[in-house]
Every structure is written in C-alpha cells, then in structure tokens.
Structure 1
Amino acid sequence: MSTVAPSHWQTGPAPQDAKGWIARATEVAAVLATDAAERDKAGATPHAEVRLLKESGLVTLLGPAGHGGAGQDWTTAYRVVREVSKADGSIGQLLGYHYLWNWAARLVGTREQWEHVEAEAARNQWFFGGAVNPRDNDVTVTEDGDDLLFTGRKTFSTGSRVSDVTVLEGVLEGTDKHVFAIVPSDSEGLTFHDDWDNIGQRLTESGGVTLDGVRTPWSSAAGFVDKEFLPRTYNTLNVPVIQLVFVSFYLGIAAGALETAATYTRTKSRSWLHGGYDKAVDEPYVIDVYGDLTAKLWAVEALADAVALEGQALHEDPDAVTEQSRGAFEVRVAAVKARATDVALEVTSRIFEVTGARATASAEGLDRFWRNVRTHTLHDPVAYKRREVGRHVLTGELPEPTWYS
C-alpha cells in the first residue's frame, strides 16, 4: 500500500464531534478503496494500513480527550468501523477489535488500571491485538512471586503482528479464574505465527500464537486486587459489545459491496440482448434487486444504530448495570446480529445477479466482499442468536452470560 494520507490530517484540526469522526473514517475508506482488491490478493501484513489508522486519529477514538484521545463513545465507534469496512473488511475488523481490546481494561479492570491503560494508549497511539479465544482453554497462568507467567497456545490472535500491545487471557493454575493482562507485543516468550490462510478477512493477522512463560506483574491482572478478582455485572457486557462490533463490519462490508456493484452496473454491465433495454440500469429486474437489497440493508442499519444507543446507556453508568438490563440488551444484540448476518450474506452474493458474468473477473475483486462476510459470520452459529431471541419472546428467559451469549 503506497497511498499517502491526506495532508489536512496533519495540518488541520482534528474532528471535534461524532459527525466529524465518521467523516474522517469515510476519508480513510477512500484511501483504502484505491487498492483494496490488490491488497486482498497480496495478503501482506497490513503495517501501512495500521499506520494510516494511526495518522487519521481513529485509533484513539475512545481515548480520553485529556490525554490526546477523541473522547467519543461506542455509538461513534460502531459507525466508524462500518465506514472503514465499506472499503476493506479486514481493516474494519482490525479497528473494531482494537477498540474492543482497548476497552477491555475498562470492562474488567479496576478504575486505577483502566485510567492508566487508557491514558497510555491515547498518548502513545497504541494499536491493540488480542490473544483471547475462549474456546481454547489452553493457556495456563502461574505465579512467580509478584509476577504471572502465561504459558500455552491460542489458535487465533487477531491483530497480532501489527499491534503494539496484546491482551492475554489464561486460567490461573489450580483455579477456574480467567486472568486478562495487557503486555507489549514484543514481550519475551510471545511468538506470533504467520499461519492465517483463510478465504476471507485475509489481512486481519488472525493466526495462532505461542506463549512461553510470558511474564507480567500481578498488578497488571485486570480486575484483581490482592490477587482476588472483584466482579461486576458490567464485566459481562463483553459479548454484546463484541457482537455489535461484528455487526458493524458485516454491514460495512455489505454496503461496500452494494456501492461497488452499483458502480459496476452503471459503468460496465451490459444489458441483456433479449431484454429490450439499451442500458443495464434500465432493466426492471436489475432495478428491483438493487431496491430490494438496499431496503434490507437500510433496515438492519437502523436497527443496529438503535441497539447501539440502548447499549450506550449501560456504558454511561457501569455500576448500575443489572442482570436484567444486561440480558435485555443481549437479546436485542442477538436480534441485530442474526439480521446483519443474513442480509450481509445475501447482499454480497446477489450482487453478481445484477453485475453479470464479466463481474466475476479476478481483477474486479467483487468476490472479496462475500468471502469476508462468509468467513467471519462463522465465528459463532447465528442459529443460537435466533434462539436467544425466540426463548425470550416465548418464556421471558434472558441469556445466561457466557463467552458467546
């Protein structure tokens, strides 16, 4: 990637509100779009792309303004991820996961811990990665005096090789307690494997990682005081917030697919020789498909925005989050996750119906949108999200907080 960032990012003032930061994300997307298909094929480590995110200021979007951050909230972060993902789903995912790992200190940690992490992250423009895969219960945490040692392997570690710091997760030896800690990504004993070779989201650096006695002080164990974890209901918001980040880049990828396809239809598609129309844009079935897909996408975008606002109320008063309010929010998130998955898959596959056979050429790169959505929507079965909604409607049951609900 050789495209340089717009000069006004350095010479002009930073955005001052949510609208301005979403516009900045749109500018980032415009830069990424210039060679998105080529970068997807190359599959190179996205160092330049992460540098672009830093230069734009988006990496410190959630950081405190007093330490150089933008001081924005999650409703803006979701929209920013959606905008970036229109051009490049991989970079949108990296940015969304970065926000999640940055927020992890506030989610789990003590006030002293998260204030320190957020200040340092904003001042130093840290880019976060995470070696946190709850299905792989294969990292053990042992004590060594005032330190902890993380040992084991994680199958997935999104953002690994392009991160400044990495969130680690493991189980404290002899207990069932999960320990989270943030360490420098170049820590001794932390080895990232270049083994991410999937059909989609190819630039997310989501390969495996080995932890060979990675050392960090007990004081960095998030939420622990005197070696005991202090739980809050707010700690259990990890799943609904993660799922809304997923929704954000699914919808961004779908919107990008639709915009790219529409441009192709206007400029390259040929009308069918037996249709009786001179231009593809005048064919009734083409018009109908674009209208159908756009209406479905707009509907789920509106639902996503509404659910994000509902969640923001919980973030603004963490100590007031109850099992009831958390569960009700998770049901709403499950609903939008299910719809976003279905609509994104439909949009990214049906665009070929209205672009034509020539649009399948490798040079066009239209397939990357479907590959990206199809890859990540397998993260956790959408049927279980529909089940959360259905059981709540029929019995009033709220989802039990787990790693996936």
Structure 2
Amino acid sequence: MTTDVLHPPPPGLGAEGRVVRDLADDLAVDAVERDRAGAPPFDETSRLRESGLLAALTVPPGAERATSWEDACAVVRTIAAADSSVAELLARHHVLSRTGHFLGSPERNFSSGGRTGHRTWLLAGDLGAGPVTEAARLRHGSLTITPVRGGYVLNGRRRLATGVPVADRLVLGAVCSATGDIRVVLVDPDAEGVETEPIPDHERTGQRAGGAGLVDFQDVPLGPEALLGVVEGDGYRRAPFTALAPLATALMLVQVALGTAEAALAEARDAILAGHRIHLPDPLDDDPVGEPTAEADLLHTWGELATSLYAASTVADRAGTAMGAALRRGQRLTAADRAEVAVLVATTEAVVAEAVPRITARVTELADPPGLDRHWRNARVLLGRGSTARRFRDIGSHFLYPSRGAPLAPG
C-alpha cells in the first residue's frame, strides 16, 4: 500500500511503527469491500486488539507510560490512510481513555483483570462537552442522570459516531437532574436497560464501517464507581485542563480527515500512473512550451491539491504539538494556555474543512479506481459536523479582542 503522499508518519513511533504500517497494509487490502458492506466492525476491532494498538493508545493510570499525543496522532493518521472508519474508532477511543485525566481522576483504569491477564476495554461515547443547540439535541439525543440512594439512574438516548456494537464500555456525559451539572459516567453496554441499534443505511453515507449507532437508556442503574467526574456548570469553558477534552476530540478527527485526503491522493496517483485516468492528454493539443495541454493541466491540478494537503498538515502538526505540550502540563495549564491551543485547533479545523473535501472531490475527476469516491463521502461525514463560518468568527474574535479571553469551542 502506498499512502504517504507528502506527510509520512514521524519517526517517533519506534518499534510500534512497523506494527502500525503492517496493520494499515492489512486494512487497506479489503477497505473498499468493507466500506460497501457497512457491517459492524467486529473484525476490525479484533485486528486492532491483536496488533496491540488498542492497548498502546489507551492512556493508563498516571499516564507515565502513555503513548505521547504526537505519536497517537501519527498512528491515527496512518491508519486513516488505510481505513478512516477504523481510524475514527481508534481516535475516539484514545481521547476517551484520557477522560479520567481531564476530570481529575487519573487513577481510573480502562481494562478488566482476570486469571488470563488484562483485557483493554474498547471505549465509545461522548463526553457531552460544550454548548448543545436544540437542533443538536434532537439529532444526537440527550441523557439525564438522577442521583438515588446507592448510585444513579441513567435515562435518555444518545447517537454515537463509532463503536456502538463493539464497545466494551461507554463513556458518557449526562445532565444531572438535581444540579444541572454534567456527570461523566462509565456504562456497560450489556447492562440491563441499555438497548442499541445501528444507524439506518440511508443515513450512513460515509464512515460506514465505524459502528455508528443509537443507544437507549431506560432506568439504567449505576453504582457510585461508575462516576468518572463532574463538570460543574460551564466547566468545559472555565476549567482549562478539563476544557481540553472537546479540543482533543476535534484535533483527533482532523488527523482522520488528513489521512483520508492522503489516501485519496495516493489511490488517484496510482491509478493515473497505471493509465486509468479519466482525461487522457491529447498529444496533438500542445501548449506553448511543447507539453500536452491536458498533461499540463493535470500537473497543475495535482500540484494544487498536494500543496493544499501539505499546508493543512503543517497547520495540524503545529496544533498537535501545542496540544501535546498542554496535556503534559496537566492541571498546571492556565486559561491563557488553553486559549492558545483552542485558536490553533480552530484554525486547523477551518483549514482542513476547506482542503480535505476539495481534495477528495477533485481526485474523482482525475481518476476512477474502484472505491475512490468513499474518501469524499467519509470526509463529508467527518468534517460536516461543524460550521467553518463560526470557526472564522471565533478566530477573528480571538485576535481582534484578546482581552475578552473567550475560549474557543471546537466546530
């Protein structure tokens, strides 16, 4: 598989680098067929677990031995260039495994122990971070948690982007009926009162193999140990380190989108070099310097697309470096530090949201190998969840009125 057009993974992965590349090569072999089938990712989850990457991208208690943020981004982008659905599954799992750290309880362990050793849980979920519009509430559902003697009761419905049929545990943010705060809890999807169903086929235009679905909770009993943390009031905006959680999710999805664009360019390039281009150059139609016009147009277009990907990747790398530094600061992170990370994430989202859909759409006009259009469909799902206009306004506000100090919410 040839996927790294302009942005090969950094060398910091060490011995894991070969494992990542081997898994990416394995996933790429049948990626088109699995996208068409849109089946639950049972096999893909087994591949992640057997490769060791699921455990490697799970942040352990204390985080001293955790894979760095920068290396996790490199893993996700490499896997995304082979299969963006699997990459999103892994990306969201990685951020969710940091939940305890974001909420001040880094001792939480996301694995089960037994005589046969530890089994790392695959996490799916949604922290319920940031302001929720009524439209978003209707689309994604809302959860309510009620304190009772001996624990809590969870009710409601939530639409999740990945992992519904395969997750070992769900990490969910629910509004407390007594206080209005967000209580983040760990839920066993096999618990009494939990029902799941897949997203209907007509709604799954992209990211079809990631296991998106709906989860219903009807009087689900939770013990006190299920509570991972409490976000009081607008804590996602006031507590600097906690407020990194939605930014981390947004930045990981950017890595998935960039890997998708890399794959689109690589597959189109391979098809063009194999002679499967849509617009063949006419040798009689020469430009002034003696190069066929169609060939010159192809080179020009390719140069534009590659430059766009390189620029977006560079911006993402800067944001990723800032995020890694912020995560290492932990609870010492200041509001000003968080604001700087936020504006870099918003800038990255804005740049990627313009570059990746254009790249993945344009390549389908240059070549037609089987399944090339899936990258455009996947990009639309990954990047169509926010407003680029709002991001630009937030960025403008940050630079025009820095004294306001308003944290930026991800798109």
What TM-score comes out, normalization by structure 2 length?
A: 0.84
Q: How much has 1:66 moved relative to structure 2?
A: 9.3
CA contact (8 A) 2:207 2:378 kept: yes
Q: Please tell me whether residue 148 in structure 1 is matched to residue 168 in structure 2.
A: no
Residues 276, 370 of structure 1: alpha-carbon distance in 2 compared, 3 angstrom cutoff: same
Paired AA for residue 272 in structure 1: L
> Does the alignment pair 1:267 with 2:277?
no
Is the contact made by 2:346 and 2:410 (CA closer than 8 Å) also made in structure 1?
Answer: no
> C-alpha separation between the residues in 1 aligned to 2:23 and 2:393?
37
- Residue pairs, 1:101-120, within 5 angstroms: 101-112=96-107, 114=108, 116-117=109-110
CA deviation string 1:66-120 (max 9, x = no partner): 99997311111111111111111111111111111111122114244x3x34786
Kindly provide the amino acid, as one letter, of the partner of residue 274 in structure 1.
Answer: D
1:169 to 142, 167, 173: 173
Q: 1:202 aligns to what SS in structure 2?
A: coil
In the TM superposition, residue 185 of structure 1 has moved relative to its aligned partner by 2.2
Residues 79-90 of structure 1 aligned to structure 2 (within 5 Å): 79-90=74-85
In the other structure, the counterpart of 1:297 is 309
After TM superposition, list the pairs within 5 Å mapping 1:4-403 onto structure 2. Answer: 18-63=13-58, 71-112=66-107, 114=108, 116-117=109-110, 123-132=118-127, 135-136=136-137, 138-156=142-160, 158-197=162-201, 198-224=204-230, 232-270=239-277, 272=280, 274-276=282-284, 283-355=295-367, 359=368, 364-396=370-402, 400-401=406-407
Aligned equivalents of 1:207 and 1:62: distance in 2? 23
Look up the match of 1:10.
Answer: none
1:197-242 Cα distance to aligned partner (Å, 9 max, x none): 32111112222110012222223312359xxx99842111112111
**AA matched with 1:390:** G
Deviates more, 1:84-93 or 1:153-162: 153-162
Deviates more, 1:310-319 or 1:63-72: 63-72
Q: Is the 8 A contact 2:181 2:230 kept in 1?
A: no
- Go from structure 1 to structure 2 and tell me whether the alpha carbon gap of 1:32 and 1:62 turns closer, same or farther (over 3 Å shift): closer
Tell me: CA distance 1:162–1:347, structure 2 relative to 1, closer, same or farther (3 Å): same
Residues of 1 paired with 2:362 and 2:175: CA distance?
44
Unaligned runs of 5+ in 2: 1-10
Q: Deviations over 1:362-405 (max 9, x none)?
A: xx011100000012211111221122211122222667457647
Which stretch of structure 1 is more off in the superposition, 32-41 or 231-240? 231-240
Following superposition, the deviation at residue 132 of structure 1 comes to 4.6
Q: 1:60 to 1:68 in 2, by over 3 A?
A: farther
SS at match of 1:186: coil
Shift of 1:23: 3.8
Q: Which protein is richer in helix relative to its size? A: 1
1:143-193 deviation digits (Å, cap 9, x = unpaired): 221211111111335211111111122111132111111122212211111
**C-alpha distance 371-399 of structure 1, shift in aligned 2 (>3 A):** farther
Aligned length: 379
Deviations 1:226-265 (A, max 9, x none): xxx9984211111211111111001000000000000010
Percent identical residues: 27
Equivalent residue letter for 2:162: T
Aligned residue type for 1:241: A
Output the TM-score relative to the length of structure 1.
0.85
Counterpart AA for 2:215? V
Higher relative contact order (CA 8 A, sep 6+): 2
Separation of aligned partners in 1, 2:64 and 2:400: 44
- 46-55 vs 380-389, which deviates more? 380-389
Q: Which runs of 5+ in 1 are unaligned?
A: 1-15
Contact 2:194–2:217 (CA<8 Å) still a contact in 1? yes
Aligned residues of 2:206 and 2:379 also touching (Cα < 8 A):
yes
**Residue 130 of structure 1, CA deviation:** 0.7
Letter in 2 for 1:313: A
Distance 2:348 2:183 in 1: 30
Alpha-carbon distance change, 369 to 85 in structure 1, aligned in 2, over 3 angstroms:
same
Q: Counterpart of 1:13?
A: none
